[in-house]
Amino acid sequence: MNRIKDLRTDNDLSQQTVANAIGITQRKYSYLETGVQPWTEELLLKLAEFYGTSVDYLLGKTDVKIPYPNTKRKF
């Protein structure tokens, strides 16, 4: 996922810094960033929160960086 690596490098962050922020080891982060291991929903959510963006942006589904509004449905 080039967008995830691009976000990290554009923000001058190390893999270790991002890994610490989302609660994993640098080695696991490296495997995720290079595609050796797949991203889990939980880690994508943590990463999106860390960068202040949406999972869709991380996955390249949209070019809009701002996160979706946090709305709760009332049933």
pLDDT given at position 40? 97
The letter for the amino acid at 34 is T
Check whether 70 has a pLDDT greater than 80.
no
Give the CATH fold of the 2-58 domain. Answer: 434 Repressor (Amino-terminal Domain) (1.10.260)
pLDDT tens for 22-64 read 999 999 999 999 999 999 999 999 999 999 999 999 999 999 8
- Distance of alpha carbon 17 from alpha carbon 40, whole angstroms: 19
Count of CB atoms situated within 10 Å of the CB of 43: 17
What mean pLDDT is reported for the chain?
Answer: 92
Ordered by start, the domain boundaries in the chain are 2-58
pLDDT given at position 68? 76
Check whether 1 has a pLDDT greater than 90.
no
pLDDT given at position 74? 62
Q: 44: which 2 tokens?
A: 């994508």
- Distance of alpha carbon 54 from alpha carbon 69, whole angstroms: 10
